[in-house]
Structure 1
Amino acid sequence: MNRKLLSAALLAFVVVAGAGCGQKPTAAPAPQEQTQEENNPSVNAAEPDQTDDSDAAAGENTPQEDAADPKQPDKQEQKPEREHGQKPEEQHGQKLTIEVYYTDPQELELKKSDKEIHFKKENEKFKEAFKALQESGNGELIPLWGKIELKSLEFKDGAMTLDIHMPDEARLGAGGEQFALDALSQTMFQFKEVQTIELLVDGQQVESLMGHVDLDHPMKRK
Structure 2
Amino acid sequence: MAVLAGCGQKPAASPAENGNTNVAESSSAPTESADAQQGAGNAPASIAPSGQPSSSEDASVSANAKQTESIKLYYADKDFMELKEATRDISYEASDNTSKYKAAFEGLQKSGSDDLISLWEKVQLLSVKFANGEVTLDIHMPDEARMGSDGELMALDSLQKTMFQFDEVQSIELLVDGKKLETLMGHADLLHPMTRN
The normalised TM-score by structure 1 is 0.63
Match of 1:164 in 2: 139
In structure 2, the CA distance between the partners of 1:84 and 1:166, relative to structure 1 (3 Å rule), is farther
Q: Where do residues 89-128 of structure 1 align in structure 2 (5 Å cutoff)?
A: 90-120=63-93, 121-123=95-97, 124-128=99-103
The whole-number CA distance in structure 2 between the counterparts of 1:220 and 1:145 is 20
Measured after TM superposition, the shift of residue 93 of structure 1 is: 1.3
The whole-number CA distance in structure 2 between the counterparts of 1:85 and 1:108 is 48
Which of structure 1's runs of 4+ aligned residues deviate more than 3 A? 80-87
The whole-number CA distance in structure 1 between the counterparts of 2:58 and 2:104 is 26
Give 3-state SS (helix, strand or coil) of 1:101's partner: strand
Structure holding more helix per residue: 1
The whole-number CA distance in structure 1 between the counterparts of 2:153 and 2:168 is 24
Match of 1:182 in 2: 157
- What are structure 1's unaligned runs of at least 5 residues? 1-75
The whole-number CA distance in structure 1 between the counterparts of 2:57 and 2:124 is 32
Match of 1:198 in 2: 173
Higher RCO (C-alpha 8 Å, min separation 6) = 2
The whole-number CA distance in structure 2 between the counterparts of 1:78 and 1:95 is 27
Residue 107 (structure 2) pairs with residue 132 (structure 1): yes
Report the count of equivalent residues.
147
Q: Where do residues 16-95 of structure 1 align in structure 2 (5 Å cutoff)?
A: 77-83=51-57, 85-86=59-60, 88=62, 90-95=63-68
The whole-number CA distance in structure 2 between the counterparts of 1:164 and 1:216 is 15
Give 3-state SS (helix, strand or coil) of 1:112's partner: strand
Measured after TM superposition, the shift of residue 157 of structure 1 is: 1.3
Match of 2:194 in 1: 219
The whole-number CA distance in structure 2 between the counterparts of 1:163 and 1:104 is 26
Larger radius of gyration: 1
The normalised TM-score by structure 2 is 0.70
In structure 2, the CA distance between the partners of 1:91 and 1:141, relative to structure 1 (3 Å rule), is same
The whole-number CA distance in structure 2 between the counterparts of 1:147 and 1:183 is 15
Give 3-state SS (helix, strand or coil) of 1:77's partner: coil
Structure holding more strand per residue: 2
Cα deviations by residue, 1:166-189 (Å, 9 ceiling, x for unpaired): 001100111100000000000000
Give 3-state SS (helix, strand or coil) of 1:96's partner: strand
Question: What amino acid sits opposite 1:217 in the alignment?
Answer: H
